[in-house]
Amino acid sequence: MNFKILTHFGRYLIMMGTAFSRPEKTSMYYKETMRQMNDIGVGSLTIVGLIAVFIGAVTAVQFAYQLDGTLVPIYYIGYIVRDSTIIELAPTITCLVLAGKVGSNIAAEIGGMRQKEHIDAMEIMGVNTAAYLIMPKVVAALVVIPLLVAIAAFVSVFGGYIAVVPAGYMSHEEYIQGVRSFFDSYNIFLMFVKATVFAYLLTSVSAYQGYYVKGGSIELGQASTNAVVFSDILILLADYLIAVLLT
């Protein structure tokens, strides 16, 4: 029987346990966390915003097409765009995209430091490298990724509006009526739960891939790819589990 997956899981747990231990100097960790918030949050705003516009637009146009000729009121398009983006599309698609952008970046950054002996140099100085290199990234992601997802949800609803209202599928009033109908604040809670879980998964899994990289540039490339692939798989798996458990 192959126990490789258990070995990885055990090593991942040990790494995360070490990563969340007491910082040597809080101010250094705070500074690093702020830097990461800027990199992950501000650095991803454009791509997240762009994707969100198209998610909303495509959802709205496709529902307009599906509802055409049915007895379902047209204002339902606004309602469907709002709920589908809040519950599913904004957290999941945003985090899948961030796994590609942020996750691969984290794996490459930490992996590069491992290969250039920067991590060894820090270890010899007495720095808890797992904590200093991983904790600020995870904490920053846990703060900014839910915010990015919230922005994505808002922008998606706006994207739906610009796709269907100017094109004449429905009026401004109908879309706004749809967006305001049947609102359940629990869905917002669900969105933030998903965003938080996905943020943790994509940063910690990517950090693991980079932290234990061995070999040269080919292995670093593989680690970066693995970071994206495993993060995506785990995000989709977690998405399903959250859906089963919380809805």
1, 5, 71, 125: residue in contact with another protein (rule CB under 8 A):
125
Cα gap 156→49, rounded to integer Å = 8
Cα gap 155→47, rounded to integer Å = 12
Residue closer to another protein, measured from CB, 159 or 210? 210
Residue 128 in contact with another protein, rule: CB under 8 A: yes
10, 24, 38, 215: residue in contact with another protein (rule CB under 8 A):
24
Residue 108 Cβ vs another protein, minimum distance, rounded to whole Å: 13
DSSP string, 119-170: HHHHHHHT--HHHHHHHHHHHHHHHHHHHHHHHHHHHHHHHHHHHHTTTTSS
φ, ψ at 24 (rounded to 5°): -65, -45
Residue 218 in contact with another protein, rule: CB under 8 A: no
Distance of CA 113 to the CA centre of its chain: 24
Stretch that binds another protein, among 63-71, 90-98, 122-130, 217-225 (CB under 8 A): 122-130
Q: Are 152 and 51 in contact (CB under 8 A)?
A: yes
Residue 124 in contact with another protein, rule: CB under 8 A: yes
15, 118, 188, 221: residue in contact with another protein (rule CB under 8 A):
118
Interface residues with another protein (CB under 8 A) are 24-25, 28, 116-118, 120-121, 123-128
